[in-house]
Structure 1
Amino acid sequence: MQPQRGRAGRGGRVASATGGLVLLLLATACGGGEDKGTAAESGPTNVSATVAGVVAPAKVEVIADLTGCEVRIRTEADELREGVCRTERGDYLITTFPQEKLKLTWLDAASVYGGKYLVGTRWVVSAKPELLERLRPRLGGKIQQLRGVGPTPGPTAR
């Protein structure tokens, strides 16, 4: 029986995404050697977002690598880890959480300040909105608008 050519079915896409995930996990676990390239750069864009959605909760360093930054860890605590990325595109903060409920608590506290955040499973990226839009295809997640707390405009006198 001849294999079909020209059309990859759902099984082919799943196998491709799974293969990319396995390669990324192996590269991450083994240190990756001297090469600074990432699995996300070598694969199709949709695979990198899928891979990031699975791997990203694990470490700040994995998310930073997917975005092309050498991260500087600024907070190491039981509840969260934070790393700062300074790039030509802009600066951003990557925060990861060991549990989803801790991420939700963090977002609740951050809502006092308002703003937009890129939010995934057990991780949040804080940056200017235009940078979040550029990072989203590599990381996946959703951009969330948080409400700020402050005075609301009152009725005007006529």
Structure 2
Amino acid sequence: MRSVALIGSLALLPLATACSGGEDDTAVDNKASTSPVVAVVAPAKVEVIANLTGCKVKIRTDADELREGVCHTPEGDYLITTFPEEKYKLTWLDSAAIYGGKYLVGPRWAISAKPKMLEPLRAKVGGTIQDLTVTSTPGPAPSAS
């Protein structure tokens, strides 16, 4: 596990140092520099993400296409889903779009939670909050008969 984290950290190092965006290099984003996410390499296992969020996860689905675990916390419950390949995550997100809502999404993982919980979880595990809008497909036109 340590070697995976080390390799991932080394792979991310050039991205972190090369993308300054031309801003003043003396400015420091304290949120980013104090986050434990810096030391974590995604994609991660359900248990790793759960540990970062401070919950003891209960695995509810362990299939070839995904693993899901439920976290029960005083702030609310949330579902952590990981995928063996990015294509499975994209298919899952397409299916979730039917219901709409916001999800915290990272490389080969997603967290389903109440919207108010997503930003605090993002501060712990990274990722981006995606708003999946409900897409309605028009049905057949009513007949005039």
What's the TM-score, normalizing by structure 1? 0.64
* Match 2:62 to one of 56, 76, 81: 76
Is 1:51 aligned to residue 39 of structure 2? yes
1:118 is aligned to 104
2:9 is aligned to none
1:34 is aligned to none
Q: Percent identity at matched positions?
A: 65
Distance in 2, Cα, partners of 1:96 & 1:70: 16
Q: In structure 2, the residue corresponding to 1:113 is in which secondary structure?
A: coil
Distance in 1, Cα, partners of 2:47 & 2:87: 21
Per-residue Cα deviation, 1:52-92 (whole angstroms, up to 9, x for no partner): 3x1x4231000000000000000000000000000011100
Query: Can you give the 5+ residue segments of structure 1 that lack an aligned partner in the other structure?
Result: 1-20, 23-43, 153-158
Query: Can you give the 5+ residue segments of structure 2 that lack an aligned partner in the other structure?
Result: 7-32, 139-145
1:102-141 aligned within 5 A: 102-141=88-127
Distance in 1, Cα, partners of 2:98 & 2:91: 12
Q: In structure 1, the residue corresponding to 2:56 is in which secondary structure?
A: coil
Given that 1:45 and 1:137 are in contact with CA atoms closer than 8 Å, whether structure 2 keeps it comes out as no
Given that 1:45 and 1:138 are in contact with CA atoms closer than 8 Å, whether structure 2 keeps it comes out as no
The CA deviation at 1:151 is 8.4
Per-residue Cα deviation, 1:76-119 (whole angstroms, up to 9, x for no partner): 00000000000011100000000011100100010000000000
Given that 2:44 and 2:109 are in contact with CA atoms closer than 8 Å, whether structure 1 keeps it comes out as no
1:101 is aligned to 87
Letter in 1 for 2:120: R
Task: Count residues in correspondence.
Answer: 109
The CA deviation at 1:150 is 4.5
The CA deviation at 1:148 is 1.5
